[in-house]
Homo-oligomer: A and B are copies of this chain.
């Protein structure tokens, strides 16, 4: 069965800024979605900030295997209820790929538990991405390094937790470096952060970038059944303990009572 993938785009600068509109006349999300649609194992749709529930209802998320997130100008307009819903979907097993300025998106900050800050410069300089984890599935079909002639600079220190694996590190013409491909697991869900994609440059038209995102969809996809309630903290009563024990000592909770949260 194909991997049901949703590309979520903020879709703001494409409407307001002529430079961005010229590069992505149908929106950045559409450009990314088209690149994925070449892969017959991926079934791709899009969603945007402007739709009701930002296009991310409970039902939609329940039927999404991998979500891709791009946002920049309107992080603050994403409703907290949707953010929590997205995070719960991740915890239950949905994959989530964050692109570029999504480092400051609400769901990324929520899942990382850290500031997610960095240094930056918008000067159209050259970026070169180096593979740091050989033959990692996300690097399939890539050379050891590839270049983007014009990109925004993101520099270290990047305020994120130590990842499971560092997959890419970027070199910038102006002298900075950045860990630009990082993997995480949160609950049952796989999370990947990928740096490139400033909206005033044609980054998502780049073949190598498209390859990374396509690989990341495959990597992030967890084919196992989603957890029904990823936040559940079940009581295991004494008579259901794997080993026979007898209750001892004083108790706070009465039998059958729910735990405190």
Contacts and interface: CB of A to CB of B under 8 A. Distances in A.
Interface in A200-253: 200-201, 222-224, 227, 230-238, 241-243, 245-253
A187 interface: yes
B242 A176 contact: yes
Q: Give the number of times this chain occurs in the complex, counting copies.
A: 4
A173 interface: yes
A72 B162 CA distance: 29
Contact of A245 (B132, B173, B185, B259): B173
B113 A236 contact: no
Contact of A200 (B172, B177, B250): B250
Contacts of A130: 155-157, 176-177
Nearest to A147: B242
A145 interface: yes
Which 9 A-B pairs have CB atoms at the shortest separation, nearest pair first? Answer: A175-B242, A124-B249, A174-B241, A124-B248, A135-B188, A175-B243, A113-B113, A117-B233, A19-B250
26 contacts: A75-B260, A110-B113, A111-B114, A120-B235, A122-B252, A122-B253, A123-B246, A128-B242, A130-B155, A131-B157, A132-B179, A133-B157, A135-B222, A135-B227, A140-B224, A161-B186, A162-B185, A165-B185, A166-B179, A171-B172, A173-B245, A175-B242, A176-B236, A176-B241, A199-B252, A201-B250
